[in-house]
Structure 1
Amino acid sequence: MTLCMSHSPGFARDHEEADGHQFRAGVASVREIVEAWDPTLVVFFGSDHRRAFGEILPAISVVLSAEGLGDSESPTGPYDVPKETARGLAAHLLGADFDVAITRHIALDHGFGQTTADILGGLDSRPVIPIFINCATFPLARPGRSAELGRAVAEYFKASDERVLFIGSGGMSHNPPTLALTSEGLSEEERRAVSAAHREAAKDDIRPEWDREMLGRLESDDTAWTDDVTTEELQAGGVGAHELRTWFAAYTAGGQGMKTVAYEPVREWLTGLGIAVSRGAYDLHMPRQR
């Protein structure tokens, strides 16, 4: 099963639930779908916002042990990472000509933590293998490399008895000032200052038509189109749209067309928010939601 889903600090901070009602309903629906499908392992393709990875920045890394950083009201505490399975996956990827890095332990930011908590209930609710894909700054691998990564990951689990849920978290169109206007990591105080100064302008950087076109392309069972997506195409959705690399990895790992559960451009959160699940899971479980 595959789940692709946006994350947003605005979602976590909106305690009064003033915005994003369609997105919230979609989150509740896919949470029930995941619970019904009952995965025994989650492979989570996620990004970072220049917090977790600093002096050393890999293009791709398999994480062997992790905790939540707690930024932007994301959760803290340990992830339940099956270390030997993660190590075996890394060895498989190296054998498949992916020069992946290994991260022995790291505090992952909301790019992993928010969706993990929202969908699984907590960071340690189910076994999770985090796979970091750099989506924020140089060195950015071509988007199609993420698609190839997803297929290679799926190959490793092909003969496994695990019920694997592949998650891609990030996007869709958004142009957050802290990423668009800076090239290096900032302190939390500096982040707040940059965001406050440019927040209003960023509300106009959501591209609903671009988002809906991408969701439409994800409906195809033929994932080959992802191999040809360019960095320039993603940039058209803003710097935050580069996080769709995580979606491409999850989509190709699942190897099945996606169904859109929810899409909503939320100006207050500066983001076009989408949720899509693999068609098989949608058809099996969504009727219960209707």
Structure 2
Amino acid sequence: MVYVSQTLCLSHSPGFARDDEEQFGDNFRAGLVQVRDAVRAFKPTLVVFFGSDHRRSFTDNLPAISVVYSAEGLGDLRSPTGPYDVPVDVAKTLVAELIARDFDIAVTRHVALDHGFGQTVADVIGALNSVPIVPIFINCATPPLARPARAVALGKAVGEILTDFDERVLYIGSGGLSHNPPTLALVAEGLPEHERKRISAEHREAAKDMIRPDWDEAFISSLADADTAWAEHLEQADLDPAGVGVNEVRTWLAAHAAGGKALDRVAYEPVREWLTGMGIAMSDFSAHR
């Protein structure tokens, strides 16, 4: 076996998990089925998951970037529970090599990861421990936030390191696209779950109008080029018009740079009931059609 990679970037939303009757997001759902099949056909032996947190897992200590050595699912908002299968030797190698490349990387020895990781793992792969996963946390919620270009540099470094591994690596970036969730937009720190629910309910209708389809479509189109030079020039001001939730596209930028491949647009639709522009992009996707 030799190194080969695939890249998948997609939105997540608690609204999707709560939509038991599948009333909304038909386009996104159809795309999700397609990429799930493509991942199954790819048969990854290792997943590197660039994910975010919603002020649940990382609170008192908030690194800009952290490689996780051991994790379980928090189970918030219908996300899964149970252990992740984290190959700690791979994780430790990534940390050592990233430090050698001048990343002052943090290590998280154990954490319960929220739906920013778990929802997508469940939707795309299945059980949290069904394939070895190295979770890499990128702070996308609580200022100060690293520049988008730092996520690009991180992804490039991870991809360079893993090319020496005999693995079939699936890079995943989960978050975004445009959305302005009240609990992030109106509050600076984490909240108890009952307070989250209250604030979300009070401001839900206004948040439905915060999706920016034009911004989302332009961003997805930019991923169609393997060259990430455009992303290295992104500033926070370029993201701000799409709401605070769009900061999670840092995970997309990292995954895109890690794989080093052009991403095909799989699906996009603004789902007002989920408060989010729901998109999917994947490398080599046209080959699976």
Q: Spell out, residue by residue over 1:118-169, the C-alpha distance to the aligned partner (whole angstroms, 9 max, x if none).
A: 0001111100000000000122100000000000000111121101000000
Partner Cα distance (1:32, 1:2) in 2: 14
Partner Cα distance (2:194, 2:261) in 1: 42
* Deviating more after overlay: 186-195 vs 229-238: 229-238
Residue equivalent to 2:227: 222
1:71-150 to 2 correspondences below 5 Å: 71-150=76-155
TM-score by length of 2: 0.97
Deviation, 1:235, is: 1.2
> One-letter code of the match for 1:136?
A
3-state secondary structure, aligned to 1:34: helix
Q: Spell out, residue by residue over 1:176-213, the C-alpha distance to the aligned partner (whole angstroms, 9 max, x if none).
A: 00000000000000000000000000000000011001
Structure 2 residue runs of 5 or longer lacking an equivalent are 1-5
Residue equivalent to 2:242: 237
> One-letter code of the match for 2:247?
H
3-state secondary structure, aligned to 1:236: helix
Q: Does residue 3 of structure 2 align to residue 2 of structure 1? A: no
Partner Cα distance (1:60, 1:233) in 2: 21
Partner Cα distance (2:93, 2:225) in 1: 31
Partner Cα distance (1:95, 1:237) in 2: 35
Determine which of 158, 165, 170 is the counterpart of 1:165. 170
Q: Does residue 214 of structure 2 align to residue 209 of structure 1? A: yes
Determine which of 156, 171, 179 is the counterpart of 1:151. 156
> One-letter code of the match for 2:103?
F
Determine which of 197, 203, 208 is the counterpart of 1:198. 203
Residue equivalent to 1:249: 254
Q: Spell out, residue by residue over 1:204-242, the C-alpha distance to the aligned partner (whole angstroms, 9 max, x if none).
A: 000001100101111112111111111111111100000
Partner Cα distance (1:16, 1:48) in 2: 27
Partner Cα distance (2:89, 2:241) in 1: 39
Partner Cα distance (1:85, 1:159) in 2: 11
Partner Cα distance (1:159, 1:71) in 2: 36
Partner Cα distance (1:139, 1:98) in 2: 17
Residue equivalent to 2:3: none
Deviation, 1:9, is: 0.1
Deviation, 1:11, is: 0.4
Partner Cα distance (1:161, 1:263) in 2: 34
Residue equivalent to 1:42: 47
Structure 1 residue runs of 5 or longer lacking an equivalent are none
Q: Does residue 62 of structure 2 align to residue 57 of structure 1? A: yes
Determine which of 280, 284, 287 is the counterpart of 1:284. 287
Partner Cα distance (1:261, 1:33) in 2: 11
Partner Cα distance (1:106, 1:160) in 2: 26
Displaced runs of 4 or more, over 4 A: none
> One-letter code of the match for 2:126?
G
Percent of counterpart pairs with the same letter?
A: 63
For these two proteins, the number of residue pairs brought into alignment is 284
TM-score by length of 1: 0.97
